[in-house]
Structure formats: C-alpha cells, structure tokens
Amino acid sequence: MLKKVTPKPSSMKNSDCLTSAIAIMQYTGVWLPDNLEYRWRVMYMALRFVTQIVMFYFIILAEIGYVFKYRHDTERMVDAAVLLLSHLVQAVKVMTIVLRQPRIKRLIALGDGPEFTHTDPKLKAIIERAVKMTSLVSNVILCSASITGLFWCMVPALQDKVTLPLRTAYPFDISGTYIFTVMYVYSSVSVITVGVADAAENFLVSGVLILAATQVDLLNVLLMDIEGGKAESYEKAVLCIKFHQQILKYVEEIANIFNFPIFCQCVVTSAIVCMTIYKISVTQEPVELVTMIFYLLCVFTELLMYCYPADILLNKSLQTADAAIPIWSGNIKTAKALQMTVLRAQKPLTINAGGMFRISLPTAAAVVQTSYTYYTLLQQSLKK
C-alpha cells in the first residue's frame, strides 16, 4: 500500500535569484563568505589579491600606460579606452561591494526576513515566479558575458599579426616568444574573469531592485484585497502600512549603497557605446565584428540591468495610491489609517544616481542619444 506523501513547504528564499551572482563574486574574490575560520579567511584574502590586484588592477594600470603612450594617436586611444572605461567603472563597483559588504548582506537578509516573506498562496506564487524568472535572466547574462570574453580573447589569435587581447603597455619587453605567450594567457584569463565578475556585480544591484519592485506589487495586491466595510479591514490596513514602511526603508538602503556606482555606469556608458560603435564601423575582421557586437549588446544589457528594474519599481510604486484609494468609500477608520500611505505613494520610489538624475528607461534612452552625439563628434575629429 502506497503511503501518502505530504509535500514539503517551499524552501525558496527571495535572495535565491542572487545565488549565481554571489557565487561568481565569491570565486573572484569580491564577496567574502560568511563564518570563515581564520586560516580560510587568510587564504581567501590571498585569492582576493590574485584575482583583484594581479588580474584586475594591474591590467588597469597597463591600459592607462597604453593610453598615455599613444595619447597623441586618437585611433589607438579609442581602441584602448573601450575596455579601460569599463574597467574603471568596475573598479568603483568592486570597491563599493567590498567596503559596504556588511550593509549589502543586511539588505539581503532583510529581503529574506519575515517582513518580506508571505504565507498566502497567491502572494507566494507571485514572489516565487519573480525569483525563478530573475534567476533565469541572471544565468543568461552570466553566460553571455563568458561568451563575449572568449570571443574577445580569440580575435587577436586569428589575425595575421598576433597581439594581446587588451591594449596594454608594460615596463618590460614582451616581444619574446615565451614572455608573449605568458602575457597572452594572463590577459585572456583577466578578460574572462573580470568580464563575468562585472556581470555578477551588475546583477547584484539589478536583483535587489527586482525584489523591491515585486514587494511593491505584493503590497498593491494586499491593498486591493481590503474590503472597507468589513471589521477586519482596519487590521489589514495597519499591516499594509507597516509593510509599506519596510519597503521604503529597503529601497532607501539600496539607493544609499549603490547610487554612486550607478551614476558612474550611466555617465561612462555613453562614451563606451560611442567608441564601440566606432570600432564596429571600421573593423574589417569578421570575428572582431562579431565580438564587438556581442560587447555592445553586453553594454546595453548592463545599462538596462539598472534602468529596467528601477523603471518597474517606479511605475509599480505609483500604483500604490490607486490600489488604496477605493477603500476610502468604506470604513472611515480604515481610510484615515491609509491616508498617509496614499499621500506618500504620490511620490514614486526611485533610485537617484549620485543625486543627479533618476534611473529609469528614459534615462537609458538619454544615454543612447548622448552616445550618438559623441560618435558624431568622434567621426568628425578623426576625419580632420
């Protein structure tokens, strides 16, 4: 006789959508694992030194050296600056995550805490669907970054004159066969490691923004489920008010932690897109053309990883007032309790990059428009 198996409750956490990104950051020395013993902590610091100082910051210095060496050659400077600018912005992200990691971990713990965990089947279904979709997108982005890095490393090897994958200048001669091979492998490993790590660092921000937008969506569902004429409507309204306050704190902390890296990303992306389009327009190598197209798509994806979730958060937060206003026709006590929530919801939840501008899809469009302006100026400069 078959025994009846009772299904286990879902153990999915809201932060499961960040699992792949956090794992990549751990392997690349950016994200310090919890509860490490002293010797393992020392070993992890050694790993961080190799992956960040040796594989990343030394490359940035070499790229700066190349730009300085060919500062009078506009075309070579453009060629080198494509990745240099990306690496400089990534350095800002890495320092932000390393220095503010305790705050980021508390933010993730808050997202997994009882304030944002729901037992209602309808609400659980919404959050689980969002987490699964976000996890899928995370894996696709990380795979795309890996493919782009591989293509970038293959291009120089397929040309008539083999060069390093990166435009770098070193204070020693690398023309010898053995030293050139070592530097080629070093540059290739750096490109792939740093590229995938950059995608993971971007998705950390994107993931917490998506979770915030999903919680706002759940708040709107809870508000619409309140029936003003019923006795328990006031208790439900109070719970919604407390939930709304937690969401406000969550979004405010996201903005406080990540506003400067987001600002740097949006500002520098204009120049990166401009120079990438220029390289696509002048290249004669099919493999390099495919590589630059992949890279351009990654840059656009990187920008949208900030702007799209922030735009969803903005629009869903504006719906909160609409979800609460119908209750005013019922219980007066309930309506008064929700009055401050409705007034607060008139101001959307936004992420202001560096306190300068609001992150949203129109921001992404403005960045692309600025990139086209830069591209036009660059073409005119090179023609002269």
- Whether the per-residue pLDDT at 228 is higher than 60: the answer is no
Q: What percent of the chain has pLDDT over 70?
A: 93
Predicted pLDDT at 109: 92
User: In the predicted model, what is the mean pLDDT of the chain?
Assistant: 85
pLDDT of the residue at 326: 59
CB atoms within 10 A of CB 287: 15
Asked if the model's pLDDT at residue 329 lies above 60, the reply is no
146-169, pLDDT tens digit by residue?
888 888 888 888 777 888 888 888
User: Distance between CA 248 and CA 319 in Å, rounded?
Assistant: 15
* Terminal-to-terminal C-alpha distance of the chain: 87
Q: Which two tokens stand for residue 131?
A: 């987490």
Domain coverage including residue 358: 15-383
Instruction: Provide the pLDDT for residue 40.
Output: 92
Give me the pLDDT at residue 165, please. Answer: 85
pLDDT, tens digit (0-9, with 9 covering 90-100), for 353-373: 877 888 889 988 988 888 888
The residue-averaged pLDDT of 336-341 equals 78
Q: What is the pLDDT of residue 5?
A: 41
| Better-predicted residue by pLDDT, 339 or 10 | 339
33-42, 262-271, 326-335, 357-366: least confidently modelled range: 326-335
- Rounded average pLDDT over 279-308: 82
What pLDDT, on a 0 to 100 scale, did the predictor assign at position 295? 82
What sign for the dihedral angle of Cα 61, 64, 70, 71? negative
Q: How confident is the model at residue 7 (pLDDT cuts 50, 70, 90)?
A: very low
Q: Is the pLDDT reported for residue 2 higher than 70?
A: no
What confidence score (pLDDT) does residue 246 get?
92
Identify the CA nearest to 16 among candidates 123, 108, 103, 119: 108
Condensed to tens digits (0 to 9), the pLDDT of residues 242-266 reads 898 999 999 999 999 999 999 998 8
The verdict on residue 313 lying in a domain is yes
CA pair distance 290, 138, nearest whole angstrom: 23
> Which residues, at least 6 apart from 317, have a Cβ–Cβ distance to it below 8 Å?
216, 345, 348, 349
**Residue labelled with tokens 């971007």:** 202
Domain count, the chain: 1
Question: Does residue 230 belong to any structural domain of this protein?
Answer: yes
State pLDDT tens for residues 102-128: 999 999 999 898 888 888 888 888 899
pLDDT band at 229 (very low <50, low <70, confident <90, very high): low
- Token couple for 3: 């025994």
| pLDDT exceeds cutoff 80 at 223 | yes
CA 145 to chain centre: 13
pLDDT for the residue 6: 45
Strand 357-358 versus strand 352-353 pairing type:
antiparallel
Check whether 291 has a pLDDT greater than 70. Answer: yes
> Residues 163, 156: contact at Cβ < 8 Å?
yes
- Residue bearing the bigger pLDDT, 252 or 12: 252
Within-domain flag for 6: no
**Nearest residue to 30 via CA among 148, 168, 196, 192:** 196
Question: Can you read off the two tokens belonging to residue 41?
Answer: 């902590």
For residues 347 and 250, is the Cβ–Cβ distance under 8 A?
Answer: no
Confidence category of residue 330, pLDDT binned at 50, 70, 90? low
Answer yes or no: is 147 within a domain: yes
Position 2 in a domain: no
